[in-house]
Structure 1
Amino acid sequence: MIRMRPRWVDFHCHLDLYPDHASLVSECDRERVATLAVTTTPKAWKRNLEVATGSEYVRVALGMHPQLIAERASELPLFEKLLSETRYVGEIGLDAGPKFYRSFSEQERVFSRILGACAEQGNKILTIHSVRCVSKVLDHLERSFPLDRGVAVLHWFTGTAAEARRAAELGCYFSINAQMLVSEKTCRVVSALPRERLLTETDGPFVAFNERPSRPRDVGETLKSLASTLGIEVQAASELVVKNLGALTRNRNRRV
């Protein structure tokens, strides 16, 4: 339970991919960054949970990254076994990029199974990868993850304005990182998203800040870019994102 209101929100960060994993968890607590530590394989779940035990601001998500499905699909039963231990699920989703497209049909099979299991248990919060296949991801959500069974957060959303509207109609939230806000096209899409559905993320260590991997505390810089994109003050953007996180985590099997 978070006793003091977070200062910032990093809703998608791979904490276990940093060499100083444990100290980074402590840093999140010290800086009051509400951080979702995503995992890429269910085998990483236990260790991540151990490191974050006792943290006030770090929560751990059970993941099965689509880019690893070709090698890790056999871990799906382990994922399903562990699912009841967490409310947070990610990183999951689909990747239709050239490097991973050969496994796309298997990705879809695994993603469909994961969504079905999350819907069956209910009250899950998902952070979803959707590279070059936003419409496919939304198709799966529409079929397998009803609005009243949990909430999907589209991580690093790069879809069209029409796809953004469809995602919003499906109750999705959107987590925004600094790299997204470099593109004028993406900024236009972000500015049109429902403000009550916006979160921030670093996607560290995959996004750089000052020529080093981003850390959760760097999300403050993302807020500056987001504020500029939305035409509001930085403090207002910070309060908006923290408020949105509160609404997301309070949502329990009801329509958003």
Structure 2
Amino acid sequence: MCDESRPGPVDFHCHLDLYQNMEAEYTRCEAARCLTLAVTTTPKAFARNAEMARTRRFVHAALGMHPQLVAQRASELSQFEELAPSTRYIGEVGLDAGRRFYPSFERQKLVFERVMALCARLGEKVISIHSVRTAKQVLDVIEKTGAHRTCVPVLHWFNASGAEIRRALELGCYFSVNEQMLLAPRGRNLLETTPIERLLTETDAPFQSDKAPGDVHGAIRLIAKEHNLDDSAIEARIRRTATELLAE
């Protein structure tokens, strides 16, 4: 039984709709009081996720246009633009210059710029952003569109140089981090550079096959070790940050 007095974990980037039993995952996160941002990869997937989230207190559905799918789904951009005014939560969006997806990179940039310009114009969006091999380009788009002035960019699994991390902080970005990334040198550098109040935990489940949604204990331990604090203090700080960002 859930302990109602104990706050649950924060999973600020996971894909509940990619599980075979999506409804069961929504129900499990809610029962665990896991403050969850359930990102989507296409606009067509948003309606079902929004329906699931509507009756739940702790799980929020985000409207996405994943860069890895732009080559096949760019035609859904108009649907994204129609849906965007109906939600505060945007994700997963961004850029991917990995070898497999680089052929669509120019189209990705056009789509991402339109998405971020729309978010900047609408305002009050919390945006979960993908940035594989594109840290500089993603930050350029955030700055060019002015989305950082009216919205909250949250950089998911941000693998970047120290200078890029500092630039992201100056733009007001937050970072959602997971255990796997924090074990890598650039992840450790991000942890050393970033104030606790700009950090959120994530799993990116099911893409980390050993992590279920909400299983952020490993990331919490690493953050706590870096800052010489108890796990519970880190959990409480991250929960407070997530609660503030997700408040309607």
The question of whether the paired residues in 1 share the 8 Å contact of 2:179 and 2:218 is answered with yes
Q: CA RMSD in A?
A: 1.7
Distance 1:124 1:207, change over 3 A: same
Matching of residue 52 in structure 1 with residue 56 in structure 2: no
Aligned residue for 1:90, secondary structure, equals strand
Between 1:117-126 and 1:181-190, the stretch displaced more is 181-190
Q: Which one-letter code corresponds to 1:32 in the other structure?
A: R
Distance 1:22 1:149, change over 3 A: same
Write the letter of the residue equivalent to 1:133.
T
Aligned partner of 1:216 among 200, 213, 216: 213
Q: TM-score, normalised by structure 2?
A: 0.94
- Counterpart among 230, 241, 245 of residue 227 in structure 2: 230
Conserved? CA contact 1:69–1:103, under 8 Å: yes
What's the secondary structure of 1:208's corresponding residue?
A: coil
Counterpart of 1:218 in 2: which secondary structure? coil
Note the alpha carbon deviations across 1:74-118, whole angstroms, 9 max, x for none: 100000001011000000000011111111110000000001111
Residue 226 of structure 1 and its aligned partner are, at CA, apart by 2.3
* Alignment deviations for residues 10-56 of structure 1 (CA, whole Å, 9 cap, x no partner): 00000000112111111111111000000000010111112222111
1:240 to 222, 237, 241: 237
Structure 2 runs not aligned, ≥5 long? none
**Partner residue in 2 for 1:123:** 124
Letter in 2 for 1:67: Q
Say whether 1:143 aligns with 2:144.
yes
* Alpha-carbon distance in structure 2 between the residues aligned to 1:88 and 1:31: 21
Note if contact 2:148-2:172 (Cα within 8 Å) is conserved in structure 1: yes
Please tell me the residue identity of whatever aligns with 2:81. E
Using the TM superposition, give the Cα deviation of residue 5 of structure 1 relative to its aligned residue in structure 2, in angstroms. 7.6
- Contiguous gaps of at least 5 residues in structure 1: none
Equivalent residue for 2:168? 167
What are the superposed Cα offsets for residues 142-173 of structure 1, whole Å, 9 maximum, x if unpaired?
Answer: 01034331110000011011100000000000
Q: Separation in 2 of the partners of 1:146 and 1:51?
A: 28
Give 1:81's aligned amino acid: E
> Between Structure 1 and Structure 2, how many residues are aligned?
245
Matches within 5 A, 1:66-145: 66-145=67-146
1: CA distance, partners of 2:174 / 2:47: 27
Corresponding residue of 1:40 = 41
- Give the conservation status (yes or no) of the 8 Å contact 1:6–1:57: no
Q: Match for 2:235: what amino acid? A: S
Q: State the secondary structure of the residue aligned to 2:215.
A: helix
> How far, CA to CA, are the matches of 2:89 and 2:186 in structure 1?
30
The letter of the residue matching 1:87 is R
One-letter code aligned to 2:239: V
Taking structure 1 as the reference length, the TM-score comes to 0.91
